[in-house]
Amino acid sequence: MAKFLLYRILQAVFVVIAVTLIVSFAIRLTGDPAVMLAQGAGSITEADLDRIREALGLNQSFLTQYIGFLRGLVVGDFGRSFMGGTPVSDLIGRALPATLALAFASLFVSIVVSIPLGIKAAVSRGRWPDQMIRIFSLIGLSFPNFWLAIMLVLLLSITFNLLPPSGMEGFSSFIMPAATMGIILTATNVRLVRTTMLDTLRSQYIMVARAKGLSNTVVLYKHALRNCSIPLITYFGLQFGGLLGGIVVVERVFNWPGLGTLAFEAVSARDYPVLQGVITVLSLMIISINLLVDIAYGLVDPRVRKE
Partner 1 sequence: MKKNKRVLNGAIAGMALSVAFSASAQAGSLTIASPQDPGSWDPIDTFLVNWASVATNIFDGLTYRGPDLELVPGLATEWEELDEGTRIRFTLREGVTFHNGEPFNAEAVKFTFDRLLGEEGGQGPQRSNYTAIESVEVIDDYTVDFHLNEPDPVLLTKLAGYGAMIVPPEYLAEHGDEHFNTHPVGTGPFKVVEYNPREDVQLEAFAEHWGGAPKLDEVTYRFISEPSTAVAELQAGRVDIVIPPTVPIGMIDTINNHDGISVVSVASPTVEAIRFNTQSGITADERVRKAMIMAVDRQAIIDSILAGEGEMIASFQGAQSFGNDPDMEPLPYDPQQARKLLDEAGVEQGATVQIDVRGNDATFGEVAQVVAAYLQGVGITASIQPYETNVLLNDIIPAGRTGEMFQQKWGGWTFDFDNTAYLMYHTGERWNPYDSDAELDEMLESQRSITDQEERETLLQEIAQYTQDRALEMPLYSINALYGVSDRVENFEPAPDNRIRLTNVDVSE
Site for partner 1, rule CB under 8 A: 30-32, 34-45, 48, 51-52, 55-56, 81, 83-86, 90-91, 94-95, 150, 153-154, 157-158, 161, 164-168, 252-255, 257, 261-262, 264-265, 270
Minimum CB distance to partner 1 smaller for 157 or for 195: 157
Which of 176/201 has CB closer to partner 1? 176
CB of 80 to partner 1, least distance (A): 9
How many Cβ atoms from other residues are within 10 Å of residue 7's Cβ?
Answer: 11
Looking at the Cβ atoms of 92 and 244, the one nearer to partner 1 is: 92
Least Å distance, CB 272 to partner 1, is 13
Q: How far apart are CA 283 and CA 72, in angstroms?
A: 17
Non-local (6+) Cβ contacts of 6 within 8 A are none
Q: At its nearest, how many Å lie between partner 1 and the CB of residue 36? A: 7
Chain centroid to Cα 185, Å, comes to: 11
DSSP state of 144: -
**Cβ 145 to partner 1 shortest distance, Å:** 13
Please identify, using beta-carbon distances, which residue of 277 and 298 lies nearer to partner 1: 277
The closest alpha carbon to 166, from 151, 177, 155, belongs to: 177
Contact by Cβ (8 Å): 240, 103: yes
Q: Between 50 and 301, whose beta carbon lies closer to partner 1?
A: 50
Burial environment of residue 297 by CB neighbours within 10 A (0 to 12, 13 to 18, 19 or more): middle
| Dist CA 147 CA 135 (whole Å) | 19
For the CB of residue 168, give the shortest distance to partner 1 in the complex, in Å.
Answer: 8
CA dist., res. 306 & res. 96, Å (int): 36
Q: Name the minimum Å distance from CB 18 to partner 1.
A: 25
In this structure, are residues 239 and 185 in contact, taking their beta carbons and an 8 Å threshold?
A: yes
Please answer whether residues 243 and 107 qualify as being in contact, where contact means their C-beta atoms are separated by less than 8 angstroms.
yes
By C-beta, is 42 or 126 nearer to partner 1? 42
